[in-house]
Chains A and B, each alone.
Chain A
Amino acid sequence: MNLLELQDVSYVYSEGTPFEMVALHHVSVGFEKGSITGLIGHTGSGKSTLVQLLNGLLRPKQGKILLDGEDIWAKPKEIRKIRYRVGLVMQYPEYQLFDETVRLDIGYALRNMSLPAEEIAERVEEAAAFVHLDSHLLDQSPFALSGGQKRRAALAGVIAMRPQVLVLDEPAAGLDPIGRSEILGGLRKYQESFGGTVILVSHSMEDMAQYCDRIVAMNHSEVFMTGTVEEVFSHAQELSDIGLDIPSIARIALRLQAAGIPLQGSLYTVSGVREAYLRAIAEARQMKAPSEGGDRRV
């Protein structure tokens, strides 16, 4: 079932001026409940606009956005309630930190929601744990943190709202490999423990293959392709035509297949290709073993 759905949504910037620019053109797409959906597309394809429409930062010029089957703009005065349900982490969210301590900053949204103090304290700790932010950092000034820690604090500030849908625009951009896997892995954990729905914008096809269930590919303000990771990445040629790519390991797998090694299974992550490769070797050995009678290496 689709928790969040766009129906024929269009968005135009600076309508009626010389700077008019169509950002989304009749886009219809659904995001399944409890899934992690990756949103890919080259720069300027409309991803960021789409993301800002999802939580009502922008209002569509045409079409509807349905959350749980209800139009989010049915009551424009209560759009803030929608924003608590659809949490958005913008690109490079570090700049949103402002409060005296990290603890207060993570609790900013919760205070806006007028939650009781005990619940705020509890949720702040919980959110900090999801993003692997050490608890001794919570009482420091956010401006004293390192870049990676700031990113985590900003993420926690949105996760603390316990949104039904968590939308993240390039959450791991500019982080080191450990930071990447901790933050993206934390999203997996968040999704598993809350049954939350996650929408992840990223340019890294490797991350997409590893963390997402489904992929939406955008091109020129329109949805180009949707499907499971396997379905989308099996169209390598089409993706490269619109300036996108498949994970490097998937390209290696394609080369291996072209060289006559019969790989089968999920060939989009390093571990998947490794397993398929080992299986192929084992099968090759079994085929050769009866005829030659030895255990020669392939």
Chain B
Amino acid sequence: MFKDVTLGQYFPGDSVIHRMDPRAKIIASILYIIAVFCARNIISFAALAASALLLILISRISMMTVLRGLKPILFILVFTALINIFLTRSTEEAPLWQANIPVFSWNWQPSIYREGILRAIFTALRVIVLIIGTSIFLTYTTSPITLTDAIEELLSPLKLLHVPVHDFAMMMTIALRFIPTLIEETEKIMNAQKARGADFSNGSLVQRAKALLPVLIPLFVSAFKRAGDLAIAMECRCYRGGEGRTKLHKLEYHFSDFLILFLVVAFMAGIFVINHYNPMGIGI
């Protein structure tokens, strides 16, 4: 049941994006997110869509994988699209469609405006591009461990303010490291309880929630036990936080990192410029 979720998964590879420095990737995806939210008209949205396609091609992640990664957000997409279509009101133009539905004494007038449809399409596109962009730059092409390394490096200035950056990074690493383990364990326990006649898919909501207890209790017990074991194992290897710790794999910027960052900045600037140039008058 968890196997179909590709969002947030790492796919090892050797593309230009895979080889980027993880810090550069984080910065690039932040800039990319800003660009995505600044797009305002049809040309800049077209540029966004093109850039997302380009990113997929460069990273050599298969299109199917990326599309499957979008499945979990399908509900959000449809939901926001419907809200946008039905709740957007424009004062400047007449509605494309309007109905009169009497609800008790009040007359409900659902109406659809041209602007609402545009908003729906653009918002959906924005979310899709946002997800594709960030997952290509970060999760799909960066292993969780390098990612937390990069976060630690980027946040290291906060150490001056006595923020325990290293400890946070270590916590994140451990949490990420144990997600697959916990998923595997959940499946194992579910199977064991199914073998004893547990039924997770039928019955009322309350019944189904109750049926999960025999899974959650052993899962928590083993997670706590695992945490204790891990703490002991770390202490056995003299772990005592970040002070004086050196790294085997030091992060280093390369020329290509600066080049890609430059391209992303140029793209962002391009979006800003296009926003002011709207030949077709289609935009939000």
Contacts and interface: CB of A to CB of B under 8 A. Distances in A.
Interface stretch (A105-113, A179-187, A203-211, A238-246): A105-113
Interface string A84-100: 10011110010111110
A193 interface: no
A158 B191 contact: no
Nearest to A109: B196
A18 B185 CA distance: 23
B194 A57 contact: yes
Contacts of B188: 90, 95
B195 interface: yes
Interface string A48-67: 00001001010000000000
B197 A96 contact: no
B197 A95 contact: no
A95 B198 contact: no
A14 interface: yes
A90 B3 contact: no
Interface string B195-209: 111110000000000
B4 to A, nearest CB: 9
B interface residue count range (under 10 / 10 to 19 / 20 to 34 / 35 or more): 20 to 34
Contacts of B191: 52, 57, 90
Contacts, number: 58
B86 to A, nearest CB: 38
B222 A96 contact: no
A99 B3 CA distance: 29
A89 B191 CA distance: 10
Interface in A203-258: none
Nearest to A98: B217
Q: Which of B62, B185, B189, B218 has the most CB of A within 10 A?
A: B218
Interface of A: 14, 18, 52, 55, 57, 80, 83-84, 87-90, 93, 95-99, 108-109, 112-113, 143, 157-158, 161
Interface of B: 3, 62, 185, 188-189, 191-199, 213-215, 217-218, 221-222
18 contacts: A14-B3, A80-B197, A80-B199, A83-B197, A89-B195, A90-B191, A90-B195, A95-B192, A95-B222, A96-B189, A96-B192, A98-B218, A112-B196, A113-B197, A157-B196, A158-B196, A161-B196, A161-B197
**Pairs of residues from A and B, 4 with the lowest C-beta to C-beta distance, nearest first:** A112-B197, A109-B196, A96-B192, A98-B217
